[in-house]
Amino acid sequence: MSGTSMDGIDVAMLTTDGLGNVERGPFLSVPYDDTFRAQLRQGLEDAKSITERRQRPASLLSLEHALTLRHAEAVKAFLTANAIRPRDIDVVGFHGQTVLHRPDQALTIQIGDGALLARETGIYVVYDMRANDMVHGGQGAPLVPVYHAAIASSIGTSALPVCFVNIGGISNLTFIGADGDIAAFDSGPGNTLIDQWVEAQTGKAYDAGGEIALSGKVVPALADRYLKHPFFTSNTRRSLDRNDFAPPNVGDASLENGARTLAYVAAASIFASARHLPQRPKTYVICGGGRLNAAIMADLAAMAACESAVVINADDLALDGDAMEAEAWAYLAVRSLKCLPLTFPGTTGVKAAVSGGVHQIPVVCETQRLILTPWRAGDEALLVDLHSTAETSQFVSTGEPWSAQYAAQRISGWLDAYEESGFGKLKLLAKDDGRFIGRAGFSWLEETSSFELGYSIRREEWGRGFATEIGKGLSQWFFERMPNEQFIAFAHVDNAASLAVLRKLGLRETDVRQHKGRPFQYFQSLSGT
C-alpha cells in the first residue's frame, strides 16, 4: 500500500477467508527517499493530462516501473525479515500509487505494474481494484470499509455504532451500525495539506507528532476558507483527489499557525462530513498517520465530546493504525479471488455490490502459447497426474509412477532452487485457458556443475509441439540472463520423442551416461545460441 501521503510503502500480512475470519500478521513500513518522493509529486503533475485510464506518458511509464520495483523490494524485505518463503503467500494485494482520481469522469489511475510485481516476487498478485467500481457507477473510493466491517467485532458491541476514521493524505470514514449496516465516504483533507505546507516552509516531509502545529494557533479566516468549500456544504458525497484542496499561500499564516490551522481543518472536516452518516457514532476509531499528530487528535477528542462520543486511537484497541490500509488490501485481494464484493452502494455509491481487481500470475518465461510459473500449494496433484502411469513416467526420475509424497518433495526442491537463484523446474500452463501442460525449467546439477534443461508434457498434450516451444523459449531466457554460460540436457536412450526435441533445439550430442542407474543421451548447448 502506498497512499496519498506518498511517504512510503506499507506491507502487512493477513490470514483470512475474506469474510469474518481475520488473523493479523506482521507489518513493515519502507519509507521513500526525498528524491523519489519528488518524482512521485512530478508524476501527479504529469498525470493531469491523462483522459483515458490506460494512458501513460513516457515519464509516468518510467515512474510506474520504478515504483513497482520498489514494491517488489519491499515485499522481499518483509519476507526476509519474517522468515517467510514466497510460496507460503497465496496472494499479494497491490494498491499502487494513485496519481489521478476524477470520480465525476469515472477516471481513476493507480500506477503499478501487477505483472512485473508478480514476476519479481514469484507471487500471485491482485491489483487495480478500484476501476470496476467506477465502471458500475461508483466513486472508486473508499475500498477499506468492508475490512473495517470485518474487524469491527473486535471492539465490542457496546461501542456501536462506530466510525473508523482513516487519516491519510485524504481522510475517509466508515460507519458500522449496531445492525451491521455500512456507510462510507471520503471526509476531506487529512495529512496532505499539512505535509505540503510544512515541506514548503521547512523542507521536512511532515510535522512529526504535530510538534509544529502545537506551537501555533488556529487562524479562523483560513480555516473557514477550507470548511466552506462546496465539498462540505453539498449534500452529495464524492471521493476526493489529492489535488482537490490546495495548501495555503505563503503569507496566509506563519509556519506554526498554518500547521495548527490545517490540523484543525483535518479534524473539523471529519465532523463536518460525519453529519451525512446514518447515525451519530458513539465511538471514533482513528487510524492512519494522522493519529500520530497530537494537534489533530486533541481537536478530534474535543469535537467528539460535544457529541457525547469518544475518540480512540486504533493502537489502543490492539489494531495497528499504520498497518490497517495495507491489511485491507490483503483482505480485498482474497475477496477478489473469491469474486466477493469489494464495494457497496453505501460505500462508494456503486449501483449494486460488485467485486473487482485484475488477477496476475507470476510469469517466469512466456512463449507464443505457454506460460511458465511457480508451483502453488496443492499442485502436487498435477505432478502426480503428469507421471501417474508407467507410460508417462518410464523416462523420468526413477522410471516409476510418482506418489503424492514424492511429487511434493520434488516441488519443494524445485521451489527452494527457484526462490534462491531464480532457476528451477516450474509449472507449465497454456496461455489461452490456463490449463496444466506439464513442467519445465532448469536445475543445477552438482555432479556435473552445470545447469540442466528439463521438461515433461502431459500425455493429453503430446504431439502439439509444446516441448519444442518451451525448450526454445527457455534457451533464449537462459542466455538473456547468462550469455556466457552453457547448459546440458539429457533424455533416456529409448525416448525417441525427447531426443528429437533436443536435436531440434540445436543442442550438440555428447555422450551416453548412466543417470540413476539408467542410460541417457547427453546434450550440450552452444554458448549464446
Binding-site residue positions: 3-10
- Which grid cell sits at 428? 507449465
Biggest CA–CA distance in the chain, Å, is 89
What's the full length of the chain, in residues? 529
Other CB atoms within 10 A of residue 148 CB: 28
CA 292 to chain centre: 25
- Which DSSP string corresponds to 45-102? HHHTT--STT---HHHHHHHHHHHHHHHHHHHHHHHHTT--GGG---EEE--EEEEEE
- Which grid cell sits at 368? 507464443
Decide if 172 contacts 141 (C-beta within 8 A).
yes
Other CB atoms within 10 A of residue 446 CB: 7
Instruction: Give the residue ranges of the annotated binding site for ATP.
Output: 3-10
Cα(187)–Cα(174) distance, integer angstroms: 10
Other CB atoms within 10 A of residue 361 CB: 18
Whose cell is 506499507? That residue is 10
Whose cell is 507528532? That residue is 209
CA 235 to chain centre: 34
20: DSSP letter: S
Task: Look at the alpha carbons of 407, 411, 417, 422 in this order and tell me if their dihedral is positive or negative.
Answer: positive
In which order are the strands placed within the sheet that holds 283-287? 182-189, 170-176, 162-167, 283-287, 310-313
Cα(485)–Cα(361) distance, integer angstroms: 29
- Which grid cell sits at 453? 534443461
